[in-house]
Amino acid sequence: MAIVAPSFLASNFLQLQSEVDMVNESKAAWLHLDVMDGRFVPNISFGLPVIEAIRKATDKICDVHLMIEEPGKYAEAFKLAGADQLTVHIEACPHLHRNIEQIKALGMKAGIAVNPHTPIDFLQDIIEDVDLVNLMTVNPGFGGQKFIEHSLVKIRQLRRMIDEKGLNVEIEIDGGVNLSNAAQIIEAGATVLVAGSSVFGAQDPIAAIATLHAL
């Protein structure tokens, strides 16, 4: 069964409590929280106060995805805000191993996010140190984009790398995931589905989550 991580970038911020309540009642195991700084990506989302508020309203895993420059400066603050796992971008971290060690030392699970243009081979020397890889299947910065089809090739490559090394690393797919392509994504080797508009824009979000979870 897939781990479903509804992306709160697509939620109704005016109804944040009820959106969290809905996810709490659903089969989703994670809440995916995107932090954008307007520098690493061309958009600004939300930050520490919102994550603190969401943390108080749920017992589920807060999966925080930092789309920011210099993430090492803020790792401790995100831990204090309630992040259970923290994902940083390989493209934003010239000293990636140091970032991963910092996240783990703070008591969080550590993830690496990879943009659509970044080769999977770049993970070869760090994959054994992380708990998850977030494969961006759209260009980061905005919700509601179309899934990049070539990403299926990258998912298979990553699945092969993880299996060959005998690792237990989650493959999280982030961008354009919906009820039409989710089965194909899982078949390629993914274990976590980040779903934004396909959940929060659904007529019945809890049923949409249940369908994704059953894959």
Q: Is 129 a catalytic residue?
A: no
List the catalytic residue out of 21, 34, 37, 163: 34
DSSP state of 53: H
Task: Say if residue 32 carries a ligand binding annotation.
Answer: yes
Both tokens assigned to 28: 């989703």
Task: Say if residue 174 carries a ligand binding annotation.
Answer: yes
Cα–Cα distance for residue pair 53/118, rounded to 1 Å:
34
Task: Say if residue 201 carries a ligand binding annotation.
Answer: no
Whether 28 contacts 205, CB under 8 Å: no
Task: Say if residue 47 carries a ligand binding annotation.
Answer: no
Task: Say if residue 111 carries a ligand binding annotation.
Answer: no
Long-range contacts of 167-170 (CB under 8 A, 24+ apart): 167/127, 167/128, 169/127, 169/130, 169/131, 169/132, 169/133, 170/3, 170/111, 170/131, 170/132, 170/133
Task: Say if residue 26 carries a ligand binding annotation.
Answer: no
List the catalytic residue out of 37, 63, 131, 174: 174
Helix (H) or strand (E) holding 142: none
Q: Is 34 a catalytic residue?
A: yes
Task: Say if residue 176 carries a ligand binding annotation.
Answer: yes
Task: Say if residue 144 carries a ligand binding annotation.
Answer: yes
The distance from CA 186 to its chain's CA centroid, rounded to whole angstroms, is: 15
Binding site for substrate, by residue number, is 7, 65, 141-144, 174-176, 196-197
Binding residue positions for a divalent metal cation: 32, 34, 65, 174
Catalytically active residues, by annotation: 34, 174
Annotated binding-site residues read 7, 32, 34, 65, 141-144, 174-176, 196-197
